[in-house]
Amino acid sequence: MAAMTPRPWRVAVLVPAAAYFLLPLLASFVFTVHVPGQGIDFGAYTQLLSADGFAPSLLLSLGLAAATIALSLLLTVPALIAVRLGAPRLRPVVEVVCTLPLVVPPIALVTGITTVLRWGPEHLSRTPLYQTFLAVQNPDFPVVLVLAYTVLALPFVHRSLDAGLRAVDVPTLVEAARSCGASWAYVVLRVLLPNLRASLAGAAFLTLALVLGEFTIASLLGFQPFAVWIVSISGAHARMSVAVSILSLLVTWLLLLVLSRAATFPSAVSAAPRTPATSRKES
């Protein structure tokens, strides 16, 4: 069989697209390793691990991303399944509510968050909620950023999960599992979620990219995750800041590759529990 050759229109599209994305990365890499008058120097990369604030900011961003992904899925998956099964007429309402963050600028969102954080300690200083306002602003792990990022990621998570639920016959799967004696927890965890692996991975993919690259909210609230740290060192260490940006892209691509591979793993669970009746029928 003759080897398949790409069609000319594919080459005409893919080559300019690859050049558009790869040439800036290549130019950035050359900037980080080429020192005028000295030649090739990888000092910008070897100094990263010992740079002040590199590891804490990266670990903070990864932790915020993991918490945001977990909270987003915990909020949207049960809600969308409930709407799909019990109240399909509410689907447009849920869709409008979930897409509202797209029309709210991040600067307006952070202004509202700042107003609430200032109002809380002044009016709730004698109530147990005072400690809550202090806890959500802990610099070691600012929960307020998780809440803000969850709002920003809600449109993308909703769109990914909604597309996955539309591709699956949810009522039939639920009815079959329930008729075999499966509980609601079993139906959701062992029947529906395995069929939504690709959608869950897509939602996690988008949320991870959003959290690792978000700058405005974290900077205005006074926290220093990875994106804010990169900007903070750009003035004094230009080559290192570009090197960190390239490294962050590689880390993001690696994590996204892991998520995409996780979505293709075959499910090892069955659609419904085996009962004595079904076992006798099979035998």
Confidence of residue 61 (pLDDT cuts 50, 70, 90): very high
Quote the tokens at residue 129.
């909620």
Report yes or no on 37 lying in a domain.
Answer: no
Report yes or no on 22 lying in a domain.
Answer: no
Q: Can you give the pLDDT at residue 88?
A: 83
Confidence (pTM): 0.78
Report yes or no on 202 lying in a domain.
Answer: yes
Report yes or no on 231 lying in a domain.
Answer: yes
| Per-residue pLDDT reduced to its tens digit, 132-179 | 878 888 889 999 999 999 999 999 999 999 988 888 888 888 888 888
Count of domains observed in the chain: 1
β-strand partners of 40: 34
Q: What CATH number corresponds to the domain at position 235? A: 1.10.3720.10
Q: Can you give the pLDDT at residue 120?
A: 74
Report yes or no on 282 lying in a domain.
Answer: no
Tell me which residue of 54, 219, 223, 53 sits closest to 136, measured CA to CA. 223
Rounded distance between C-alpha atoms, residue 39 and residue 34, angstroms: 6
Report yes or no on 17 lying in a domain.
Answer: no
The domain of 80 spans: 52-265
Rounded distance between C-alpha atoms, residue 15 and residue 102, angstroms: 32
Q: Can you give the pLDDT at residue 3?
A: 52
In this model, does residue 277 exceed pLDDT 50? no
What is each CA distance from 239 to 32, 99, 116, 215, 243, in whole angstroms? 5, 38, 39, 20, 6
Tell me which residue of 195, 187, 188 sits closest to 164, measured CA to CA. 195
Percent of the chain residues past pLDDT 70, beyond the cut: 88
Report yes or no on 108 lying in a domain.
Answer: yes
Cβ atoms of residues 225 and 145 within 8 Å: yes
Report yes or no on 38 lying in a domain.
Answer: no
What is each CA distance from 51 to 30, 155, 234, 244, in whole angstroms? 21, 36, 13, 10
Per-residue H/E/C for 17-46: HHHHHHHHHHHHHHHHHEECCCEECCHHHH
